[in-house]
Every structure is written in structure tokens, then in C-alpha cells.
Amino acid sequence: MKIIRSPTTMAVWSERLVREGVKIGFVPTMGALHEGHRALIREARLRCDALVSSIFVNPAQFGPQEDLAKYPRPILQDRALCRKEGVDVCFEPTVEAMYPSGFQTMVTLPAITRRWEGEVRPHHFSGVATVVTKLFGIVRPKMAIFGQKDFQQSALVRQLVKDLNLGVEIVVHPTVREEDGLAMSSRNVYLTQDERKRAVMLYKSLRAGAEAIGRGVTDGKAIGSAMAQVVKKEPAITIDYLAVCDPTTLEPLSTVRGKAVLLGAVRLGPVRLIDNILVVAKQARRKF
């Protein structure tokens, strides 16, 4: 496995392969890799000829009060995982190389980032959209894989690729979970043992929402309360949002018909947990 740090060297490597018609797959990450990342890398490995994974803790997507400085950076372990899973290039640019002095272009998607994570973390998604656009320009992938875990991010990336004609196929891989259902996340290491046990309540609340839909509940507010009831059993948890939304626009649904996504974000100790479940409501059968 090659380790490339310079964006120019990375671009030259990709350019040569693209000219030869090689299909480059890409998995962008911030490192601290876990089984969720591993699943994305494995899927990309199966679908593409050459595989690039990036490890870049992108300062542009962190708020001033967020954990940029202490974000875990176990680079040797991360490289070992990438090597084991058949990554061809681990792209590890420096902050200075990605954002040299004079850098000024930012990519924003106002509608899809208006709510949920975008509301709680202003500027986060313009940081994500900007770095994804830059990485696609450097790596030139035919396909890129993102996790469903960050649902709003994956919706944003799809919209970005469509709006800017980037020509990258976006694949969204289902969320990889711990045995009890907690979505894997690099930030779970910040949880104490006690918080870790409580953290599963977010997933349980989303399940409660999905079960309500399964029982035929279609009213968005009622589904929202079914989810909130479960989280409220855990006093250590504060709800940021629990919502029933359209999976493409992420606008809240007052009535669920067909596809919906249940989105949740809560605070537990020092950690914000986010999770989601996609559901398809059974359509009422027409009677003739």
C-alpha cells in the first residue's frame, strides 16, 4: 500500500489510472477506523479496480467548541487496517496542503443543511461539502462509498454530485452496529463504561418509531412521541432532535406514506450521538 501525503502526487497517480480506464473507488474518512469504515472499504474493494482511502481530520467541518484537537488519530493502526483490506493508496494530506494560505472557495448547500445536524452545527456541512469536492477533484474516483450512519451527509453528497455534475457514483453502505445496536463511531471512545451502556437508548428509540410505523401509525407527531418516550427513560440523555423525514429532502413529514427516515441526535456526557433508520410504511390497500 502506498502512503501519499501530497495532493499533487495523489492527483498524478489518479490521472494515470483514469487515462488507462481503471475504475478508482474511494472511501473518505477522518481515521480512527472501526468496523464501520472497514465495511465501506470492503465494499469499495469488491466494486472497483483501484482503491483509495483518505485519512484527513478536516478542520473546516469542526466548530470552534468541538473536538478537533482531541479527535483520535491512531494513524499506524489505521494504516494497518487499510493495508489488510487491500487499499492501494492511503491518502493522508496535511491541513496546510488542503487549505494553503489564500484558500477561499467554500461549497454550501443551504436547503439540505438547514435542519438537523446543519442547525446544531453551523458551517459543519459546508466544511464537508468543500472537502469532499476537493478530494473528488484530487482522487478522481468513479465511485465513492459513504456510510448511512451520517445520513444527512450522504444526502448532501448525492445532491452535491448531482448539482455540480461531478460524475462520481455514490454508494451508501448500511450502518454497522455494536452487538447491542449502538452505531459504531470513532467518538464512542469518549464514552465512559456507564455512558456506553446507556448510549443504546438512541437506537432503541428509533426502533420504537419504526415499530410504530410498522403498526400502521402514519402521523409524524405520534411517531416522534413514540421515539421520545423511549429516550426520556434515560435521564442522562438530552435530545437534540428526533424526527421523521423525507429521505431525499430531509424535510419533516407530517404524514408517513412510503419511504421515510427516522433521524436522531442526543447528548450523553461529552458525546453527541447521531443515528437513523430508513423505513418503508406499508401503503393502505385500496379497496375496490
* Given the residues 37, 123, 124, 173, the one annotated as active site: 37
Site membership for ligand AMP, residue 61 (CB under 6 A): no
Return the residue matching grid coordinates 406499508.
282
CB of 221 to ligand AMP, least distance (A): 29
CB of 231 to ligand AMP, least distance (A): 19
Pairing of strands 50-55, 89-91: parallel
AA letter at 271: V
CB count within 10 Å of CB 284 equals 9
Question: What would the grid cell of residue 19 be?
Answer: 487515462
Classify 144 as helix, strand or coil: strand
Classify 47 as helix, strand or coil: helix
Percent helix, strand and coil across the chain, each rounded to 5? 40, 20, 40
CB count within 10 Å of CB 181 equals 16
Q: Which is nearer to ligand AMP, 226 or 245 (CB)?
A: 245
Site membership for ligand AMP, residue 159 (CB under 6 A): no
Whole-Å CA distances, 179 to 84, 112, 138: 23, 32, 37
Q: Which is nearer to ligand AMP, 11 or 171 (CB)?
A: 171
Q: Is-catalytic flag, 173?
A: no
Q: What mask, x for binding ligand AMP by CB under 6 A, covers residues 172 to 191?
A: -x-xx------xxxx-----
Of 4, 10, 24, 40, the residue at the interface with ligand AMP (CB under 6 A) is 40
Q: Which is nearer to ligand AMP, 185 or 218 (CB)?
A: 185
Site membership for ligand AMP, residue 54 (CB under 6 A): no
State how far the Cα of 24 lies from the Cα of 11, in Å rounded to an integer.
12
Site membership for ligand AMP, residue 109 (CB under 6 A): no
CB of 61 to ligand AMP, least distance (A): 9
Residues involved in catalysis:
37
Binding stretches for ligand AMP (CB under 6 A): 29-30, 36-37, 39-40, 146-147, 149-150, 173, 175-176, 183-186
